[in-house]
Structure 1
Amino acid sequence: MTIKCAVKSVSLLTDSIYRILLQPAAPVSYKAGQYLLVVLGTKNKHPFSIVSSPCRQNGHELELHICVAKKNACALDVVNASKATLEKGDDSFLIEAPHGDAWLREERQRPLILVAGGTGFSYVRSMIDYCLSQNFTQLIFLYWGGRDINHLYSNNEMKMLALKHSQLNYIPVLENAPKNWSSKIGNVLEAVMEDFVSLSKYDVYIAGRLEMVIMAREKFCNERGVRCEHLFADAFAYL
């Protein structure tokens, strides 16, 4: 379903990651972990995870995190379109929502392993906020990996959230860490493998580069006992 949106704000989280807040003309009903399509034309649609929890303003506000990299001209087009709509002050920013089958299976109430690379964090952030707002008690382990500290753009916020909620365990992982770094260094998937002998009791949700998602399925299923029905990623729909 195509939905008209007003753009409430466009701001920078880092020098290359934008935070966009949308106000849809009608509330959007979706599940934590789903995504939307930004519609720039009939054959010009781009997927982005919905960062906001489904309970945020009951679907009246949607948040996106968009990385504008040199090789991603489409993302820049979306950001420019959002800025143009904000400047006009109308609701001409079009989306289609909801999409995706890798949403949070909340009815299971199994402990969660959430694995994110870079802006894949936007996928799992919705789940974290939803679980905490609904007072779920199952353990949540968030592994967020990046090349350097700038890629973990909400690192301090997540550390504070983990201090406030005992069921949330936040493990940031850097490939290139500063000297005073006290968390894990290296590959985010290897960090999970180091910490868990078995993942058979967990529901595992993954977002990041396609290569990372493929490798995660291979390692977690073959070496750590994850069953296919307990492993989720939007990328699996295209493999």
Structure 2
Amino acid sequence: MSVIQVTVAQIQSVSEFVYKVILTSEEALPEFNAGQYLQVVMSAEDKRPFSIANPPYEKSFLELHIGASEHNPYAMQVIERMQKEGKIEVELPCGNAVIQDDAENSILIAGGTGYSYTRSLLLQKLHANKGAKVSLYWGAKTPADLYEMNYLQELAQQHSDFVFVPVIEHAQPDWNGRTGLVHKAVLEDFDSLDEQHVYVAGRFEMAKVVRDEFLPKGIKAEQLIGDAFAYID
């Protein structure tokens, strides 16, 4: 891993609680794999992880999607420091929840800003163009929280091997899509998961439920990929 100082080129509010951050450097950025993350160095003892949202073939910048608010000071302090100082140190690459095989059929499951992890995987898969089927299930509380829904719908129209399924928790008057828990939508669509690799990004509780409910559907433990699995029993 490398620790480098980067410039905060952009901070854009993309939803009520999510900021898209673009980081650049005058020097070549360290290489990373789709699915890895970086750590923002607040101090020697305080490093805060955020998924890298852009794919590895986009080499001139690093993109982060940070969910931050006054109720989430852990992330909000990072945004405020970036806004104030304009530069920050980051450590990367981190994490092992990377693409296992460009040619595998994959299901990507994201809860909230866990989408940033799946975004890098998705774009890398489509770029590799190996003919693999990729399905992205993105769950959120409201349609507004699906801040790149239009972009993903356009991608799905452009790529016949990509299916995008947005899911919100509860039915709303202006929503005609799927509702409920995002992993339940996957189980409704797939009778068997033995030929899939499933990548999961979200709360640890969600990862545990996915593991417990997906294993009886034929998938092997090693076909469930996500950094959270290393921290749950």
> Which amino acid counterpart does residue 209 of structure 1 have in structure 2?
R
In 1, Cα distance between equivalents of 2:61 and 2:128: 18
Mapped to 2, the partners of 1:153 and 1:100 lie a distance apart of: 25
Instruction: Give matches, 1:114-125, under 5 Å.
Output: 114-125=108-119
Corresponding residue SS for 1:104: coil
Of the candidates 158, 163, 188, which is equivalent to residue 157 of structure 2? Answer: 163
- Aligned-pair CA distance for 1:166: 0.7
Task: Identify the match of residue 47 of structure 1 among 28, 46, 49.
Answer: 49
* Shift, 1:105, TM fit: 1.4
State yes or no: 1:101 paired with 2:81: no
CA contact (8 A) 1:6 1:85 kept: no
> How far does the alpha carbon of each residue in 1:138-161 deviate from its partner, in whole angstroms, 9 at most, with x for none?
000111111111221111111111
Q: Paired residue for 1:17?
A: 18
**Counterpart among 112, 124, 146 of residue 140 in structure 2:** 146
Alignment of 1:192 with 2:186, yes or no, is yes
Matched, 1:208 2:199: no
For 1:106 and 1:23, locate their aligned partners in 2 and report how far apart those are by CA, in whole Å. Answer: 29
Provide the residue aligned with 2:30 in structure 1.
Answer: 28
How many residues end up aligned between the 2 structures? 230
Q: Which runs of 5+ in 1 are unaligned?
A: 87-91
Matched, 1:234 2:227: yes
In the alignment, residue 7 of structure 2 is paired with which amino acid?
A: A
Deviation for aligned residue 1:180:
4.3
CA distance in 2, matches of 1:45, 1:71: 19
Q: Which residue is 1:38 aligned to?
A: 40
Q: Distance in 1 between matches of 2:174 and 2:130?
A: 34
Question: C-alpha displacement at 1:135, in angstroms?
Answer: 1.8
Following superposition, the deviation at residue 40 of structure 1 comes to 0.7
Give structure 2 stretches of 5+ with no counterpart: none
Who is 1:137 aligned against?
131
**Distance (Å, rounded) in 2 between the aligned partners of 1:237 and 1:95:** 23
Q: Which amino acid aligns with 1:29?
A: E
Contact 1:205–1:231 (8 Å) recurs in 2: yes
Identity of aligned residues (%): 37
Deviation string 1:64-119 (CA, Å, 9 cap, x unpaired) is: 00011343201011101111233xxxxx4100000001011135x11000000000
Deviations 1:155-195 (A, max 9, x none): 11111110111111001111123334332111111111111
Contact 1:149 1:177 survives alignment (8 Å): no
TM-score by length of 1: 0.92
AA in 1 matched with 2:51? S
Note if contact 2:52-2:63 (Cα within 8 Å) is conserved in structure 1.
Answer: yes
Distance 1:99 1:12 in 2: 25
Counterpart residue identity of residue 172, structure 1: P
Q: SS of the residue aligned with 1:101?
A: coil
Residue 73 of structure 1: aligned partner: 73
TM-score (norm 2): 0.95
Q: Distance in 2 between matches of 1:181 and 1:149?
A: 7
How many angstroms apart in 2 are the aligned matches of 1:149 and 1:168? 21
